[in-house]
A = this chain, B = another copy of it.
Amino acid sequence: MGRKVTLFDLADALGVSTGTVHRALHGHRDVNLQTKTRVLRLAKSMGYRPNLAARYLSLKRNYRISVNTLKGTTSFWDEVRSGIEKEANLIGLDNVELEFRTYPRLGEGEPEAFEEALRAKVDGIISFPSHPKSFRACMRRAFRARIPVVCVATDAPDTDRLGVVSIDTMASGGLAADLIGQVIDGKGKVATTLSDLQITEHAEKCHAFESTLRSFYPAMQLVAKIEDHDIETEAYDKCRELFRAHSDLAGIYITTEASIPVFEAARDAGMLQQLTIVTTDIFPSLVQQIRAGSVLATIYQRPHTQGRMAFRVLHEFLVHGSCPSPQVTLAPHVITRGSLDFFLLRKAIESTPEKGAQIQLDSHELEGFAIE
C-alpha cells in the first residue's frame, strides 16, 4: 500500500505548481484545458485523494446549515433536531454552524423560513417539505442559488433536492398488515387512517398495507382509508362513522401520529376491545394506551436517526462534493408492550444533551480507561 499521494506529488510529477494542480482539480476558470486534463488524468492514475484534515484547516469558512422544520405537537421534530445536532458535533470538526428555523404548522410559514435561509446565504438546508406545492417554488430558487437541500421525513417529488431521509413506508405498511393479519387470523375487516392521500408517504404506507393483505391475507378486507387532514375532530367523527358502518371491524392501522382520536372513537363506540390496532410513533398518551394493552404494536419512525442521517448526507456533500446515497430509507422499529420500556430507555438516552466542551486527554492520563 503506497504512501498517500499529495497535491505536491502531482505538481512535482507534472512540473507545475500546486496552485495549478489545485485549480485544475476544482475546475476553476482560467486554467489551460490541456494542463487541466493532464492533471485530472494523473490524479486519477495516481489515485489522488485530498486530505480532508488539511482542507478543513485551510478553509477558515464554516459551513452554515439551516434546519427548517415544523414546531410540531409531539416530540417528533424535537428529536429530529436533536439528531441533527448530535451528528453535527460528532462529525463536525467544529466547521458547521446550525441555524434552526421552525414554523408553527403544516404549510404555515414554511416558504418564509426557506426564503430567509436563502437570503442568509447558508451553505445547505435540511428541510421538511410540509406543503408540496409551495415547496416546489422554494426548491427552484434554491436550485438557482446552488444551495443543496436535503428533505427529511417526506420526499418532495419532482424537485432537485440533493437527498431525502425518510422511513421505509413500504416496510411499515407491510409490517402493519402482517401484524394485524396474523393476530386476527387472516380474516375480517380492517381500515387505515391517514392524513391525506395526496401525501406520498401516507399513500405509500396504505398501498403497502393493502398489497400485503392482497398477497397474503386474501380473506381480509380493507373497508376504508380515512383521511383526517390532521384535524382531531375530523378523525374522531369519521372513525365514529366507520365503526357505525362496520360494527364487525377487526383491525385498524393508523399511519400517522393522530391515534388518540381513534382510540376515543373506538372507546365511545364500545369497540376498543375487539379492535387490533397498529399505530405510528410514540408519545406519552400513546404510551398509556400501549401499557393498557389497547395497541398491538406501534411503528416507530426514528426521528432522531432521521435527523442524524439528514445531517450526514448534507455534510458529506458539502465536504466531499458527492452524495453517497441520495435516498436514505430507514427501517422502522416495532414497539410492543413487552419491549416498550427498553425503547423508552433508548429514547431517553438519545435525547440526553451532549456533554459540553471537554478537554481531551491522552490515554496516558486516563487511569485504566476509566470512563467517568
Beta-carbon contact of A94 and B178 below 8 Å: no
Q: What is the oligomeric copy number?
A: 2
* CB of A120 closer than 8 Å to a CB of B: no
A51 touches B93 (CB 8 A): yes
The residue in chain B whose Cβ has the minimal distance to the Cβ of A322 is B358
Contacting residue for A362 out of B27, B43, B349, B369, CB 8 A: B27
Closest to A333 in B: B331
Residues on B with beta carbons closer than 8 Å to the beta carbon of A245: none
Could you say which residues of chain B place their CB within 8 Å of the CB of A322?
A: 355, 358, 360-361, 371
A100 within 8 A of B: no
Q: What's the nearest-Cβ distance from chain B to residue A64, in Å?
A: 12
Q: Is B355 a contact partner of A324 (Cβ separation < 8 A)?
A: yes
- Known A-B contacts A183-B183, A329-B346, A331-B343; the reply to A178 vs B337 at CB < 8 A is yes
Q: Does A359 contact B (CB under 8 A)?
A: yes
Contact in complex: B363, A148 (CB < 8 Å) = yes
B369 touches A148 (CB 8 A): yes
Judge whether A197 is part of the interface by a CB distance below 8 angstroms.
no
The listed residue (B168, B216, B331, B339) touching A293 by CB distance below 8 A is: B216
0 or 1 for each of A353-372: is its CB under 8 Å from B? (1 = yes): 00101111111111011010
- Given known pairs A178-B337, A336-B179, the reply for A43 and B359 (CB within 8 Å) is yes
Give the residues in chain B near A358, CB-CB below 8 Å. Answer: 49, 320, 322
Q: Are A336 and B183 in contact (CB under 8 A)?
A: no
Please, could you name 28 A-B residue pairs with CB atoms under 8 Å apart, sorted by A?
A25-B359, A28-B362, A44-B357, A48-B359, A51-B93, A51-B94, A52-B94, A53-B55, A53-B56, A146-B364, A160-B369, A168-B346, A170-B342, A171-B342, A172-B339, A174-B339, A175-B336, A177-B338, A178-B339, A182-B183, A182-B296, A182-B336, A212-B337, A320-B358, A320-B360, A321-B362, A321-B363, A331-B346
Taking A49-B357, A148-B363, A175-B336 as given, write out 6 further A-B residue pairs in contact, using a Cβ cutoff of 8 Å, ordered by the A residue number: A48-B357, A51-B57, A168-B342, A182-B182, A212-B338, A334-B334
